[in-house]
Amino acid sequence: MSSREARKALLEEAAQIVTVDRNNQYGEPEDTFHRIALLWSVYVGTLVTKADVANMMILMKVARLSTNPHHRDSWLDVAGYAACGWSTAVDDVTAPS
């Protein structure tokens, strides 16, 4: 498999996970990120946003990748969290005030 094919395959799998598989199990990721943000805000005593949740989940995966950069699932998760983070940013901009 070429580098381009490998990138495409990973992104297609991430798309499947964040648009079908996980949605069927847990609902919309933006809703889950909102619930996580509420819980984390109380726990740390400061406001945590949905985008913060996506960023911190990516950072957790980066920490794991620093130990094992060949772990494909962590790269897959980073792609998925990035897509979900982007959608939360879009939601925040387009949400009615």
Domain ranges within the chain, ordered by starting residue? 3-92
Distance CA 67, CA 74 (A): 11
Q: What's the pTM value of the predicted model, to 2 decimals?
A: 0.85
Confidence of residue 24 (pLDDT cuts 50, 70, 90): confident
pLDDT of residue 58: 98
Indicate the SS3 state at residue 95: coil
pLDDT by residue (tens digit) across 27-76? 888 899 999 999 999 999 999 999 999 999 999 999 999 999 999 999 99
